[in-house]
Copies of this chain bind each other. A is one copy, B any other.
């Protein structure tokens, strides 16, 4: 009973190999997460517990696929960045997309019912913010009571796509685009829910009153009407989450290779640029652990990238002492 008679159908399979030497971003997005978040009673405007599940799932993806140099997530979306030199799965589109989204989904479901919420905030930035952290702890405790298992009728699913970015500048702009989006949405949502939850407005009225407002208007509303200083809101909410492998931070760097420009092959003898004492100390501490880190930092400015050159080079940095 040979199979050869039917095997011709293999000829219908088509593989798209993504262009070499381009940065591959696989972005996953929650499907129907508005309904999903209602169903499980997510806190508004942000649910720490839900974000932690997202972050844990992302960590798991980064851990199991070492070709991923970093991931950036906000709300129910996460972007996974494969280094431009990756040859994983021969860069086949469907294989990359399906593997990332399947691994993420499995991890999300796994981490959900077990009450396993990694503390996504054990990073250098967060450790200094006792205040913020205290606030977050509080939220988590409130939420714990509502914790429940997943219903078969409402299981979390994600879609995904792969996009290629030819240059480092394009990649940086992509990530900046997502983080700006995070900021715009979070400022809006924070104000909107303050008006509803503390201001007693209906959702329609709140929406109406925010039409056409600028960022400064929203900051003003938050402060004058609710005593909220937006800048004191948790960084996870304002900046989203970055997941990456941490090595010894670099203390020496130059103006030239700082930014988004294309000069990758730099002379070896470049002079170090001085960094502030505070920064240096911070870096030293950070070097103490080498692991996958979830942080809530500004990834638009060059600083984040300057001290972590391995993200761009794709080469593992020096192990943390």
Contact = CB atoms under 8 A, between A and B. Distances in A.
Interface of A: 1, 3, 5-9, 11-14, 16-17, 19-22, 28, 31, 60, 84, 93-95, 97-99, 101-110, 113, 116, 150, 152, 155-168, 170, 173-174, 176-177, 180-181, 183-184, 215, 256, 261-266
Nearest to A3: B180
A84 B261 CA distance: 16
Given A94-B93, A102-B102, A165-B12, A155 B20 contact: no
23 contacts: A1-B180, A1-B184, A9-B170, A9-B173, A12-B21, A16-B16, A28-B98, A60-B152, A93-B94, A94-B94, A94-B161, A98-B98, A98-B159, A101-B105, A103-B157, A105-B105, A106-B108, A106-B156, A109-B110, A110-B152, A166-B166, A261-B264, A262-B262
A99 B16 contact: no
Contact of A263 (B84, B110, B261): B261
B22 A160 contact: no
B163 A166 contact: no
A2 to B, nearest CB: 8
Contact of A215 (B1, B161, B177): B1
Nearest to A17: B14
A218 to B, nearest CB: 11
Contact of A21 (B16, B84, B170, B215): B170
The A interface is mostly helix, strand or loop, or mixed, namely: mixed
Nearest to A100: B98
A74 B193 CA distance: 49
A174 B6 contact: yes
A209 to B, nearest CB: 20
Contacts of A104: 102
B177 A9 contact: yes
A157 B99 contact: yes
B166 A19 contact: yes
A163 B12 CA distance: 7
Given A94-B162, A107-B155, 7 more contacts: A6-B177, A8-B173, A9-B173, A13-B161, A13-B163, A60-B155, A105-B109
Nearest to A31: B99
A116 B113 CA distance: 15
Contact of A102 (B6, B105, B150, B170): B105
Given A93-B94, A167-B167, A157 B19 contact: no
Contacts of A98: 28, 97-98, 101, 158-161
Scoring A20, A104, A168 by chain B CB atoms within 10 A of each residue's CB, the highest score goes to A20
